[in-house]
Amino acid sequence: MEHNKIYGYYTWVMDFVAPFIVIGTVWGIIRRYIVKPARLKGQQTAEALIILITVLIHPITHVGKIATQIAAGHPPAGLGILTPPLSTAVSHLYTNAATIAKWHSFWFWSHWVFVLIVLGMIAYTRYLHMIAGALNDLLRRTPPKGTPERIDLNDPSSFGVDRVDNFAWKQLLDSVACVVCGYCQEICPATFTGKKLNPRLVIRDIKTNMLKNGPFITKKQAPVLPLIGENQEGSVPMEAIWACTTCGGCMEVCPVYIEHVWEIIDMRRHLVQMQAKFPDELLNLFENTEQRSNPWGIAPADRAKWASGIETKPFEAGKTEYLFYVGCAGAFDARNRHISLAIARILDAGGISWGILGKDELCCGDSLRRLGNEYVFDRIAKDNIKMFQDRGVKKIITECPHCYHTLKNDYHQYGTDWEVIHHAEFIRGLIKEKRLKLNGNGDLGKVLFHDSCYLGRHNGIYDAPREVLARTTSHTPAEMKRRLNRSFCCGAGGGHMWMEESIGKRINHERVEEALKEDPRTICVCCPYCMTMFEDGIKDLKASEKVQVLDLAEIVARALQ
């Protein structure tokens, strides 16, 4: 084989990449075992060190083998008299003709023995991620990535996951594709603030559980290690499952496209629908949303009270172009009602034909789905879809990114084809079309923008709010260190708007502290949940007198002539 021309070309490629492999591997060992950055926090196994050493040995033995071959006067075939430069340089170290053959034999057998060892290690070590990672890349889901798979509620076995063999094959592929790089735990707001959740360890536990239970499951025997459990590797702690805010940061930074969040939601589905094991405070949310279609349990007749100060415009089929889907927060929360009014004023100023459903509007079901209550979400989704179809709704404007994502992406799994637009994008369109007359806004001071997870990471809307701010205030908005697709969660997603946060540091405190370091006068958000979390955090940190939180729509409404 070593006299084959193709192998000769391979030696040239290896000659050029060998120094980079050596440098990269040495730095990998130093970084993982000496520098130890935060994202590599945790026990470093002997397996990882062995893999790094075998990676280091491969180019060294290859260059030694080719160098002694050149020194003996038998250069590899491929490019005639030309020989690989690095190996040629190293060949000058072998000047004793009597020992060249022995050195060549040493390097030859060292190289190929290590190659065979590595081939044998692939199936049993992290080397497997080279294959699994490539497959995971090819098989990753297309956008939207923030939507869990729909399940068949007529099949009792599909009510979530409590055994590793209930995961889809792609989810199991996720577990063996992990390279333990630590990027997911570095960006995770739960991990960062001291919660039980570490997305890297969730994937590790799923893999460990699969390897432990696999021999029993293939023999039709019961698993010996529970998937959801405590205090043992291979079982995912329940506290970790409930700590996830579904912000999607882990999936955004994963180099092999692991979908951590959907594994967690599948386990939540089982806990909620099969065992009724969930945080106590969620019982009110589930009952209120199921019975009165809003998290607070307020009478549906009060849904349109936010619009009591303006001319009410009910949506009329064939007459109204846009449905303004207000959402629960925009309809019932005292602070967020002001945002609903601001959006209404902007729509009127832009000459838009719009209307609301009033008391007939239902919750979209976002929190239910992210918390695992798929059964009630499914019923609400079908009720909403039927109502929208009966009323001829084709275009929807939303105030909340969570409503936007659910109506646009989750409901699409039910065959819907309507157009859903978040108010940030809609306002940008109005400004571009010169349908809004703005006179500037001089009382905002330094404006700092916060990226909502469900508007940004899950739906890729980053430019629209920034463009609107720039046009409205005549200044480019200030940015936080963690921004765009690396933005830090406010702490309310994944149903955490309705949950107590008693472990570690509050996530919204962490984000507000980061914002205050930029010394803003105004923090701009595009999400009612973010509004609540920022305002609560600012009050807790006693910063209310020096900074205000405004929604993008409020800033634009203030600037209207």
What is the C-alpha to C-alpha distance for residues 340 and 7, in angstroms, rounded to an integer? 68
Both 322 and 265 in one domain: the answer is: no
Both 249 and 377 in one domain: the answer is: no
Q: What's the burial of 329, exposed, middle or buried (CB within 10 Å: 0-12/13-18/19+)?
A: buried
Q: Dig out the tokens for 116 from the structure.
A: 């065979």
3-class state of residue 356 by DSSP = strand
Spacing of C-alpha 313 from chain mean position: 38
Q: Dig out the tokens for 165 from the structure.
A: 């063999």
pLDDT value, residue 114: 87
What is the C-alpha to C-alpha distance for residues 318 and 324, in angstroms, rounded to an integer? 15
Domain assignment present for residue 362? The answer is yes
* Residue 482 dihedral angles phi and psi, to the nearest 5°: -95, 110
Last residue of a domain, one of 377, 398, 432: 432
Spacing of C-alpha 240 from chain mean position: 16
Domain assignment present for residue 126? The answer is no
Place of tokens 């002694």: 68
Considering the entire predicted model, what is its pTM? 0.88
pLDDT value, residue 353: 96
Both 28 and 71 in one domain: the answer is: yes
Q: Are 203 and 260 in contact (CB under 8 A)?
A: yes
Both 200 and 240 in one domain: the answer is: yes
Both 186 and 164 in one domain: the answer is: yes
The domain in which residue 157 lies consists of: 143-273
Spacing of C-alpha 376 from chain mean position: 25
Both 302 and 424 in one domain: the answer is: yes
Q: Are 458 and 248 in contact (CB under 8 A)?
A: yes
Cis check: omega of the bond before 143, within 30 degrees of 0: no
Both 187 and 80 in one domain: the answer is: no
Sequence-distant (6+) residues with CB within 8 A of 311 are none
CATH of the domain at 409: 1.20.1050
Both 427 and 300 in one domain: the answer is: yes
Last residue of a domain, one of 239, 273, 307: 273
CATH of the domain at 534: 3.40.50
Number of domains in the chain: 4
Both 452 and 404 in one domain: the answer is: no
pLDDT value, residue 82: 64
Domain assignment present for residue 83? The answer is yes
What is the C-alpha to C-alpha distance for residues 259 and 261, in angstroms, rounded to an integer? 6
Tell me the average confidence (pLDDT) per consecutive run of 10 residues in the chain, 561 residues long. 66 85 88 78 72 87 87 70 78 84 90 88 80 86 80 80 92 91 93 95 94 91 89 88 96 93 95 94 96 95 91 88 97 96 95 95 97 96 96 97 97 95 98 90 88 96 96 93 96 95 95 97 98 97 94 95 71
Both 423 and 287 in one domain: the answer is: yes
What is the C-alpha to C-alpha distance for residues 330 and 338, in angstroms, rounded to an integer? 8
Question: Nearest to residue 39, comparing CAs of 257, 201, 173?
Answer: 201
Integer CA distances (angstroms), 176 to 243, 281, 292, in order: 23, 35, 43
Last residue of a domain, one of 273, 294, 322: 273
Q: Are 315 and 393 in contact (CB under 8 A)?
A: yes
**Amino acid letter, residue 380:** I
